[in-house]
Amino acid sequence: MTIKVALAGAGAFGIKHLDGIKNIPDVEVVSLISRDLAKTQEVADKYGIRHVTTDLADSLAIKEVDAVILCTPTQMHAAQSKACLQAGKHVQVEIPLCDILAEGEEVVALQKQTGLVAMCGHTRRFNPSHQFVHKKIQAGQFNIQQMDVQTYFFRRTNMNALGQPRSWTDHLLWHHAAHTVDLFAYQCGSPIVKANAIQGPIHPTLGIAMDMSIQLKAANGAICTLSLSFNNDGPLGTFFRYIGDTATYIARYDDLVNGKEEKIDVSQVDVSMNGIELQDREFFAAIREGREPNASVASVLPCYQVLHQLEQQLNA
C-alpha cells in the first residue's frame, strides 16, 4: 500500500522532506500547500506533485491523503496539527510542536482521542551521530555527565535557510532550544528536573532576544549547558559535546568525532545519513505498523513544558 502525503510549506525545510521522501518506497506526495501559488507550482512541477493549493483545508478534503507533513511557520504548528487530526489524517509537524504550551497539550490530547500517528520533527533523535551515542548509552557503555551545546547563527535580519525573507520570526527558545532540551532528556533517559535561562538584549525591530544561555539538570544528575545566538558571525549551526564517564563525543550535524577530534564512522548506524529522511521513515513506519513513533507528540511534550517554564522565568 502506498501512503499518500500532503506537504505544507514549500520552503527550505519542505524541500528537505521532499528530497528525503524520494528515497522511501511506497510513499507518494500527492498535494503541496504553500503561501505563494506560483512558487508552489514550480516546486510541485519539479517533484511531480499533481495538486497544489494555498489552503491546507483543500488538501485535508482530499480523501486519498493519508498523512500530512507540516513545514509551516512555528505559530501555525499546533492549530494545523489539530486540523489534520480532526480530518482523520496522520500528521508530522516540524519542530517546534508549539510556542504556547497549552496549544501543544491540546494536540497531545487530540492525538490520544483519535489514535492517529502524530509526530514532531525532533531531528536530533534521528541523526546518525546522535543515534551512535544513544546506542552506546542503551548498551551501558557510556553515561552522560555533561552536554555542552552551542547553537549559533548569524541572523540579524529575518531570513530563512535559503537566504530568503521570512514571513515569520524565528525564536531561540521555542525553536532552537527545543532541539537540545529534548535531546538532553532523551539521551539521558531521565527527565529534566531543573532549568535556568538568561537572555541578552531584545532586538529593536525583530522583538526577540538574540542571545540566550540555558542550564539544565536531569533527574539522574547529568547537566547540560546550552548557548544560543543569532549574533554569531562564524561557524554556523549546532555543535554538541557529550562529556561522559568513558568518552567524549562531539557531534556536528552528521559528523561525529571523539574528544581528540578523531573521526568516528557513523555511516552504518542506520539506512541513511540524512536525519530528515530517517525521521520521515519513522513516521511512515509508525503509520504502517499502527504504533507510537519515536518523537511522538506525547513523548516530546515534556520538552515544551520545560520551555514554558523557562519563558516564564525570562519574562519575570
User: Where does the pLDDT of residue 141 fall: very low under 50, low under 70, confident under 90, or very high at 90 and above?
Assistant: very high
More confident residue, 208 or 244: 244
Strands (E), the chain: 3-8, 27-33, 51-53, 67-70, 90-94, 118-121, 144-152, 192-199, 211-218, 223-229, 237-244, 248-252, 255-258, 263-264
Lowest mean pLDDT segment, chosen from 164-168, 221-225, 245-249, 292-296: 164-168
Q: Name 212's bridge partners.
A: 199, 228
Residue 41, pLDDT above cutoff 60: yes
Q: How far apart are CA 194 and CA 215, in angstroms?
A: 8
Reported as a pLDDT band with limits 50, 70 and 90, residue 156 is confident
Which CATH number is 127-269's, of 3.40.50.300, 3.40.50.720, 3.30.360.10, 1.10.510.10?
Answer: 3.30.360.10
The rounded percent of the chain whose pLDDT value lies above 70 is 96
When pLDDT is averaged across residues 164-183 and rounded to a whole number, the result is 83
Mean pLDDT, all residues of the chain? 95
pLDDT exceeds 60 at position 167: no
How many Å apart are CA 23 and CA 115, to the nearest integer? 27
pLDDT band of 171, cuts 50, 70, 90? confident
Question: Residue 166's pLDDT is what?
Answer: 58
* Contact in structure between 239 and 149 (CB atoms under 8 Å): yes
Spell out the domain ranges in the chain. Answer: 3-121+275-294, 127-269
Res 53: pLDDT: 98
List of E strands, 143-190: 144-152
Calculate mean pLDDT across residues 305-315.
Answer: 97
Cell for 14? 519542505
Of all residues in the chain, what percent carry a pLDDT higher than 90? 89
pLDDT above 80 for 170: no
pLDDT, position 272 = 96
**Residues 289-301, mean pLDDT to the nearest whole number:** 98
The grid coordinates listed for 213 are 544561555
Q: What is the pLDDT of residue 157?
A: 67
CATH superfamily of 3-121+275-294: NAD(P)-binding Rossmann-like Domain (3.40.50.720)
pLDDT for res 163: 67
First-residue to last-residue Cα distance in the chain: 52
Residue 306: pLDDT over 80: yes
Q: What is the maximum alpha-carbon separation in the chain?
A: 55
Binned at pLDDT 50, 70 and 90, residue 253 comes out as confident
Cα distance between residue 255 and residue 262, in whole Å: 11
